[in-house]
A and B are shown apart, each in its own frame.
Chain A
Amino acid sequence: MKAIITVLGCDRVGIIADVTAALAKNNINILDISQTIMQDIFTMIMLTDISESRKTLAEVEDEMEAIGKALGVSITVQHSDLFHSMHRI
């Protein structure tokens, strides 16, 4: 099962480190990652494999939300099927 994790917010030290550390702790593998900073706005999109995750998708989402609040960024975790159904026939 794959999930898309999106991080949006003001750039600061430690965003990638904190997010990826939490994913590694939950045994979530990052399959693809795209990150850009435009005028201090940090944007990161990760394709992750949550099939071996120690937590459910809802629990991962709650944890990411808490990390996002601490870092001052918005983190969303969504099942990849949402994007496939919106953009593919």
Chain B
Amino acid sequence: MINTSEILETITMIRQEHLDVRTITMGISLLDCIHHSAAKTADAVYDKIMRKAGKLVETGEAIEKEYGIPIINKRVSVTPISIVGQASGDYLALARALDRAAAGTGINFIGGYSALVQKGFTGGEERFLETIPEALAETKLVCSSVNVASTKAGINMTRWRGWAVLSRKRRHGRRTAAAWAVPSWWSLPTPWRTIPSWPGRSTVRASRNA
């Protein structure tokens, strides 16, 4: 049986210390939406997200009410668009479809305009990476990420350096919305090894020993 001090402790945590559920995320596979036509892929992506996540916000709010604990963000995460869009090649159309679907479902943001390049990248993935600044500039709710490292694969320093060059070009290039969009990306660097093709050592070990 829960005693009164535990109940008051929970109430205090929620009301005064702002305990909350930071986010609820629905993961949706878009592998069955892949088509060589960009328009058909975009429509399939939009329809599937609306069908699966249409009641996500409503359900989240019902849970908030039932348990009396706030849920700050409701979000959707999808199959990396670098994979979904390779057949058609039009990644920006998919970014717009994701944005429309996110707005239609009422969620806070949608993740998945992403690429996993820790082991290397295809030509399609390289073209995808070039579209990230424009996709972020054109959309309101789409989040993007590029995974450049893993414990098993090490750090893809080629992609890391390529990304830094792209970011500089975008910042100092033409004054367009796309040029000024700062891409957000994250990585999970390993201190132990880098991919053998890159002669330089990872700086993570050095910073740990500093």
Contact = CB atoms under 8 A, between A and B. Distances in A.
A61 B4 contact: no
A84 B4 CA distance: 12
B7 A6 contact: yes
B8 A45 contact: yes
B68 A76 contact: yes
Contacts of A87: 2, 6, 9-10
A6 B11 contact: yes
B151 to A, nearest CB: 31
A57 B65 contact: yes
Interface in B21-63: 62
Contacts of A83: 2, 6-7, 10
A81 B68 CA distance: 11
A89 interface: no
B10 A76 contact: no
A77 B67 CA distance: 8
Nearest to A59: B65
B68 A45 contact: no
Interface string A63-89: 000000000000011111111101110
Interface residues on A, range: 20 to 34
Contacts, number: 46
A83 B8 CA distance: 10
B67 A81 contact: yes
Contacts of B7: 4, 6, 45, 83
A55 to B, nearest CB: 13
B71 interface: no
B65 A58 contact: yes
A79 B66 contact: yes
Contacts of A82: 10, 67-69
B12 to A, nearest CB: 10
Contacts of A86: 6, 10
21 contacts: A6-B7, A6-B8, A34-B4, A43-B8, A57-B65, A58-B62, A61-B65, A76-B11, A77-B68, A79-B67, A79-B68, A80-B2, A82-B10, A82-B69, A83-B6, A83-B7, A86-B6, A86-B10, A87-B2, A87-B9, A87-B10
Interface of A: 4, 6, 8, 34, 43, 45, 57-58, 61, 76-84, 86-88
